[in-house]
Amino acid sequence: MIKPYLSELVSDALSATLPEEFKVSIEVPKQAGHGDFATNCSFQLAKHLRKAPPQIAEGLVEEINEKLSAKGITASSLGGFINLKLSSEFIWSRLASQFDDGVTFPEHSEKVLMEYVCANPTGPLHIGHGRWAVIGDVLRRLLLKVGRDVSTENYINDAGNQIKLFRASVEASKKGEAIPEGGYHGAYINELADVEDPVQAMIDSHKKVLGRMDVQFDDWFSELSLHKSGAVDAMLDLLGEKGLSYESEGALWFRSTDYGDDKDRVLKKADGAYTYFAVDIAYHSSKINRGYTRLVDIWGADHHGYINRVKAAVKALSDSSLDVIIGQLVTLFRDGEQVRMSKRTGEIITLEEVLDEIGADALRFFMIQKSADTHLEFDLQLATQQNSENPVYYVQYAHARMCRILEKAEGPGGTLSVDDLSLEDYERSLSLSLLQLYDEIYESANQMQSHRIATYSVSLAKLFHGFYHHCPILKSEGDVQAKRLQLLRWTQLGIKDCLGLLGITAPESM
């Protein structure tokens, strides 16, 4: 990673002046003209040194240049900011190190368990599930990439009232009777008439669709198994022993208010049945017992009211942390008009239909492109168009282009004499962006913002296309060709990495 590397170098160079433990933070200036990288440390130091930032910056710049200019880093100050400019040789050697030696990420001892999709097997998956699935799957890939110990589960709600109603609805449909009050409607209910176990059939269909999208889980965890194994009773006993539950109005309550919830919640209803919440505590308790120290749940926005009580339960039971990522809902459009969906009447567009229409690559890209907490407006017609309006092709095309050039380039292109390494504008900006690849990956993983990798991919592809047009490769010769070929190889690796993290294919020709 380039930012921690620069931070280390600059902090060391300034160690005589800086307070102990002070790490210079490195950022990328918005205006490329200012520098390749920058630090605002003179502002942070102003109080401590009792001097004005521009004055501090001047002194620091002098020190940096004295110690680091030989390495290829030159500093300058502007309005208190310290801007860093990297020499071509420096950039090149960092790229070589990054791609040839590989990158090591800081270690974390936590064991992570992610839970996502989590759909009732009472109907087909919809586009919202597709979004949680992709957000979760890309995050999983990101965490693995930076070396985290991570497992993933899809929790199947295969128990409870909804399942009963669902079975009853299928049964009624089979006999030609009226669907029970609050039951399930739609053509798919009729189609399940011949199936031996409609619940299993739905689970199978979920597996099939998610499989086609290349969304992977280490386990599909059955809610029913928690009932059967007695895990729910055991958990209720444990809560009782710890004094975390009490009886009132004929029901058993959890003291969630002691852990930050607005009100206490029912665990066991007056009729003796468990609430969904009680079973979910048992599930989270199972995760904790299996040794996971960091839990991540991804839910749809319609469940956000549920966050506090589950957090309360996890807090009451363990030291493990729980992060909940809320995916905002997806509004489908077709031809610019909103597609209204009604679960009651069974009028829905299923995830599978969308997948059939636009394919896994485009679907994944559209679902991951926007931040999880932005409402997503998704136009089916737009995604169907296999043209320039469709950003996934932009990135894939960049990859295909590079593959074709590499294919045509004869041999490895010889070794590059770094003595006379100069980078033209297009080469330089591509190189600088590529240098930040692993910073982007690390930050995206750390902050659990999987959409950032999509944004980065597009910008890297853009820089490549510009480079491609202005810097001929096969038509150039000697050192210039060797340099461009090398840059191309690294860029291809970078784009391929990104596409891999996004779970999108990296075609070698288009």
DSSP code of residue 36: S
CB of 301: closest distance to RNA in angstroms?
A: 4
Contact positions with RNA (CB under 7 A) in 237-266: 248-251, 266
The DSSP bridge pattern shows strands 251-254 and 265-268 to be antiparallel
Nearer to RNA, 79 or 411 (CB): 79
**Helix 88-96 vs helix 425-435: crossing angle, to nearest 10:** 40
Q: Which amino acid is at 331?
A: T
Nearer to RNA, 49 or 326 (CB): 326
Interface residue with RNA, options 408, 410, 419, 477 (CB under 7 A): 408
Interface residue with RNA, options 471, 498, 501, 504 (CB under 7 A): 471
- Give the integer Cα–Cα distance in Å for 53 and 168: 72
Rg (CA), the chain: 28
Tell me: does residue 40 bind RNA (CB under 7 A): yes
Contact positions with RNA (CB under 7 A) in 448-467: 449, 451-452, 455, 458, 462, 465-466
DSSP code of residue 51: S
Tell me: does residue 270 bind RNA (CB under 7 A): yes
- Give the integer Cα–Cα distance in Å for 449 and 321: 18
Measured torsion, CA atoms of residues 365, 368, 371, 372, in degrees rounded to the nearest 10: 150
| Cβ neighbours around 487 below 10 Å, total | 24
**Helix 53-68 vs helix 2-13: crossing angle, to nearest 10:** 100
Stretch in the footprint of RNA (CB under 7 A) among 10-18, 133-141, 147-155, 363-371? 363-371
Contact positions with RNA (CB under 7 A) in 209-228: none
Contact positions with RNA (CB under 7 A) in 154-173: 157, 159-163
SS (H, E, C) 277-320: HHHHHHHHHHHHHCCCCEEEEEEEHHHHHHHHHHHHHHHHHCCC
Contact positions with RNA (CB under 7 A) in 280-319: 301-306
Spatial CA neighbour of 9 closest among 100, 76, 97, 84: 84
Tell me: does residue 447 bind RNA (CB under 7 A): yes
CB of 343: closest distance to RNA in angstroms?
A: 10
SS (H, E, C) 63-96: HHHHHHHHHCEEEEEECCEEEEEECHHHHHHHHH
Stretch in the footprint of RNA (CB under 7 A) among 86-94, 200-208, 343-351, 388-396? 388-396
Note whether 288 and 313 are within 8 A (CB). no
Number of residues interacting with RNA: please give it, by CB under 7 A. 90
Tell me: does residue 469 bind RNA (CB under 7 A): yes
Nearer to RNA, 298 or 473 (CB): 473
Tell me: does residue 321 bind RNA (CB under 7 A): no
String of contacts with RNA for each residue 107-126, x by CB under 7 A: -------------x------
- Give the integer Cα–Cα distance in Å for 3 and 396: 28
Nearer to RNA, 158 or 352 (CB): 158
CB of 57: closest distance to RNA in angstroms?
A: 9
CB of 358: closest distance to RNA in angstroms?
A: 12
- Give the integer Cα–Cα distance in Å for 434 and 123: 44
Tell me: does residue 477 bind RNA (CB under 7 A): no
CB of 353: closest distance to RNA in angstroms?
A: 20
Structure tokens at 489: 């190889």
Tell me: does residue 394 bind RNA (CB under 7 A): yes
- Give the integer Cα–Cα distance in Å for 277 and 271: 16
Contact positions with RNA (CB under 7 A) in 75-104: 78-81, 83
| Cβ neighbours around 195 below 10 Å, total | 14
CB of 291: closest distance to RNA in angstroms?
A: 27
CB of 201: closest distance to RNA in angstroms?
A: 18
CB of 389: closest distance to RNA in angstroms?
A: 5
Determine the length of the chain.
510
Nearer to RNA, 101 or 295 (CB): 295
- Give the integer Cα–Cα distance in Å for 143 and 152: 11
Interface residue with RNA, options 275, 293, 384, 505 (CB under 7 A): 275
Contact positions with RNA (CB under 7 A) in 44-73: 44, 46, 53
Interface residue with RNA, options 16, 20, 21, 30 (CB under 7 A): 30
Interface residue with RNA, options 4, 28, 151, 341 (CB under 7 A): 28
Nearer to RNA, 285 or 449 (CB): 449
Structure tokens at 105: 């990420």
Tell me: does residue 31 bind RNA (CB under 7 A): yes
- Taking the alpha carbons at both ends of the chain, their separation in whole angstroms is 32
